A and B are shown apart, each in its own frame.
Chain A
Amino acid sequence: MSETMTALPGIETATAGVHQLSMQQALNRALDEILAGNPKTVIFGEDCGRLGGVFRITDGLQAKHGEERVFDTPLAESGILGMSVGLAMAGFHPIPEVQFDGFAYPAINQIVCQIARMNYRSRGTLPMPITLRVPSFGGIRAPEHHGESLESLFAHVPGLKVVSPSTPHDAYHLLKYAATRPDPVIFMEPKSRYWQKGPVDLANALPGKSPHDGDPSSGGSLTGARVAREGRHLTLVAWGAMVARCLQVAELAAEDGIDVEVLDLRWLKPIDAEALATSVGKTRRAVVVHEAPLTSGLGAEVAQLITQSCFATLKAPVERVTGFDVPYPSGDLEDEYIPNIDRILFGIQRVLEYRRG
């Protein structure tokens, strides 16, 4: 992803060192530093002030930074997102929250028709540096509308960027990065991963590996995909909550001598097409895994990008292992809906056993 503009007012450098943090703690810490580093940032939404959010992502921020910087709004998603537009026009950097993915729908008009278009409509004079935090995806046995996979919907909208971290480390750095961008970013937090701990290197954003980086050990770039596991036989492409599951699958496949590479896409718009080309160019087989329904899902976009760059060398058509074209089911059926280990293994098998003609 090219950066033609300089970053917005910077966020302070974190204390060095690797910490074991949950994604909730990593996000909370990132927001704290964003607020400290840029006086124009404001955080608001339902219950994110005194309560610290239903997932506690904004815990303690109001007490520390004041009620003007972190505040509760009335319970109205269109209001929250519409207000973000005006605040951005007034020079602020809003970091609004919708409490759960399913409640982004009441705000779709403001997100799609207003936030996404204002830079264009105003010929670049009214940028929308808005980071919309959306607790996303299923896996927590929540009631209806508390677990949805909206990435294709957002990624399809011109003027929006979409990112989803899969680890505490990426959650911390990607949020800090997103909050300095001059364009609207939908930040999809995998809520089933909020309480999982992992190493967070606070000072070094890029300890991961990028397939298109000259020196893989030097780390990739926060603007693209990340190789979560290197492998030779096949690439699993995933993002958000599905990355951890794909890593599990890779371990199981390794027992059968199948060496799986896991590519964590991270950015769902723009998609790191180069990383896809490099990884699948090497493994020559790919399976895309996502929770969202199959039809018109992001898996189709990924498959097309791979086909375009790797058609000549692909050993099998790109496979998809996804949710189904049904409303996100309730808790008891969730395990049937979200791609599980077996379904992903079947997907791998289909690709490995594919024979031409």
Chain B
Amino acid sequence: MTTKSVLAAVDDDAAPLTHHQLRELYTLMAAVRHLDTSAVAWQRQGIIPGYAPELGQEAAQVGSGYAVDRTRDFVFPTYREMGVARAMGLDMVGYMSTHKATWHGGMYNPLESRFAPIQAVVAGSVLHAVGWAHGQTLAGHAAGEIGVAMTYFGDGASSQGDVHEAMNFAAVMKAPVVFFIQNNGWAISVPTERQVAGGSVAARAAGYGIPSLQVDGNDVVAVFEATRSAFAHCRAGNGPVVIEAMTYRRGPHSTADDPGRYRTLDEERLDAGDDPLERFKQRLLTEGVADEAFFAEAQRLAEAEEEAVRAGIADLGPRPGAEMFSLVFQEPTPALQSQATAWRKESEHV
């Protein structure tokens, strides 16, 4: 599919990506593809209890995450944004620790990484992005300097009331926030046509007077460019933008899911469209941006990275139980302190 603008496209006169940047995007996608498929294998091997794969969504995630400026922007993910995290340069052991069941939300530092804790409630953090973005307005940053919030959610999450409240708030307040929908065709077993009324999520933006773009979510460059212009729009003080990246979630929703109960493999093959990684590789070859040696090297780097992350995950012991008590509040309550004391006494006794 081609990029289609539902409302007027926002634009800036950004330069086309350099060859170096194009190769970097490919390297990131290769790393994400390999880490993602490996994480599914880790689950099968019992290294982690569960994982939410993003096979087929690499372009949507890497293309958008690559547009984030970590010195001033902030990303509000769901549970499936490993590729965004990787594109933003997060500590991937810290990220994967959530899937290891080490800690809800991840072991990385959200303030340093500019990546909010992993969120399990669908649409839970869409409003947080609006609040954070409004904070940028209140802080009085000059237009052009302002930080932008980008919130990720799915076509299923778009049915939540919080998304509608968030879009309305953002539009009324002109908050610098990018609503980035990955429409991967499915919300667990429910296809988009049984989920989204009004034609598309992007089409809803019109009701709030928010400019929106539907973008080919399997084209990493198109996604990057759409996100970059959305950021420019927000940074210039024009308020929010909705981007709906049309993509496809191949394989299961999570490692606990059995997609065979709601679609056949043939349907999956037919509906999924081009593999975003393979498609980008062909483009880079055709345009002479990269050669086979480069792709082999990208794969080698991805494998080395996966080994390092797997080792890091394996080394992650359980957190000391005392943290369960000490991280609830900044100022713990006496009841909680005495529960911690009792716990310590009784668990040391055993």
Q: Is A181 part of the binding interface, using a Cβ–Cβ cutoff of 8 Å?
A: yes
Query: Closest CB of chain B to A28's CB: distance in Å?
Result: 22
A4 and B331 contact, CB distance less than 8 A:
yes
Residues 150-187 of chain B, each 1 if its beta carbon lies under 8 Å from chain A, else 0: 00000000000110011011001000000000000000
Query: Closest CB of chain B to A80's CB: distance in Å?
Result: 9
Query: Closest CB of chain A to B228's CB: distance in Å?
Result: 23
- Complex alpha-carbon distance, A117 and B135, angstroms: 21
B331 cross-chain contacts in A, Cβ below 8 A: 1-5, 181-183
B168 cross-chain contacts in A, Cβ below 8 A: 74, 76, 79
Task: Report the count of interface residues on B (CB-CB < 8 A).
Answer: 47
Q: Is B132 part of the binding interface, using a Cβ–Cβ cutoff of 8 Å?
A: yes
Q: Is B332 part of the binding interface, using a Cβ–Cβ cutoff of 8 Å?
A: yes
Q: Is B280 part of the binding interface, using a Cβ–Cβ cutoff of 8 Å?
A: no
- Complex alpha-carbon distance, A269 and B332, angstroms: 11
With A124-B330, A159-B329, A273-B334 given, is the CB distance from A87 to B110 under 8 Å?
A: no
Residues 121-137 of chain A, each 1 if its beta carbon lies under 8 Å from chain B, else 0: 11111110000000000
Within 8 A of A (CB), among B304-345: 323, 327-337
Within 8 A of B (CB), among A117-170: 117-127, 158-159, 161
Q: Is A204 part of the binding interface, using a Cβ–Cβ cutoff of 8 Å?
A: no
B169 and A120 contact, CB distance less than 8 A:
no
With A82-B166, A90-B136, A126-B111 given, is the CB distance from A161 to B130 under 8 Å?
A: no
B127 and A86 contact, CB distance less than 8 A:
yes
With A113-B124, A119-B328, A159-B329 given, is the CB distance from A42 to B334 under 8 Å?
A: no
Query: A116's closest neighbor in chain B, by CB?
Result: B328
Q: Is B8 part of the binding interface, using a Cβ–Cβ cutoff of 8 Å?
A: no
Q: Is B270 part of the binding interface, using a Cβ–Cβ cutoff of 8 Å?
A: no
A1 and B333 contact, CB distance less than 8 A:
yes
B165 and A76 contact, CB distance less than 8 A:
yes
Residues 17-61 of chain A, each 1 if its beta carbon lies under 8 Å from chain B, else 0: 000000000000000000000000010000000000000000000
Query: Closest CB of chain A to B257's CB: distance in Å?
Result: 23
With A74-B165, A121-B117, A125-B109 given, is the CB distance from A89 to B131 under 8 Å?
A: yes
- Complex alpha-carbon distance, A48 and B168, angstroms: 19
Query: B126's closest neighbor in chain A, by CB?
Result: A82
Q: Identify which of A85, A92, A159, A183 gathers the most chain B CB atoms within 10 Å of its CB.
A: A85
Query: B104's closest neighbor in chain A, by CB?
Result: A121
A-B contact pairs, 28 of them (CB 8 A): A2-B331, A2-B334, A3-B331, A4-B332, A76-B165, A79-B127, A79-B168, A82-B131, A83-B134, A85-B128, A87-B131, A89-B110, A89-B116, A90-B131, A110-B127, A110-B162, A114-B124, A114-B128, A118-B117, A121-B117, A126-B116, A159-B329, A161-B329, A181-B330, A182-B330, A183-B331, A270-B334, A270-B336
A residues engaging B (CB < 8 A)? 1-5, 42, 68, 73-74, 76, 78-79, 81-92, 94, 109-110, 113-114, 117-127, 158-159, 161, 181-183, 269-271, 273
A181 cross-chain contacts in B, Cβ below 8 A: 330-331
Query: Closest CB of chain B to A124's CB: distance in Å?
Result: 5
A91 cross-chain contacts in B, Cβ below 8 A: 135, 139
Query: Closest CB of chain A to B219's CB: distance in Å?
Result: 30
Query: A106's closest neighbor in chain B, by CB?
Result: B161
A182 cross-chain contacts in B, Cβ below 8 A: 330-331
Q: Is B295 part of the binding interface, using a Cβ–Cβ cutoff of 8 Å?
A: no
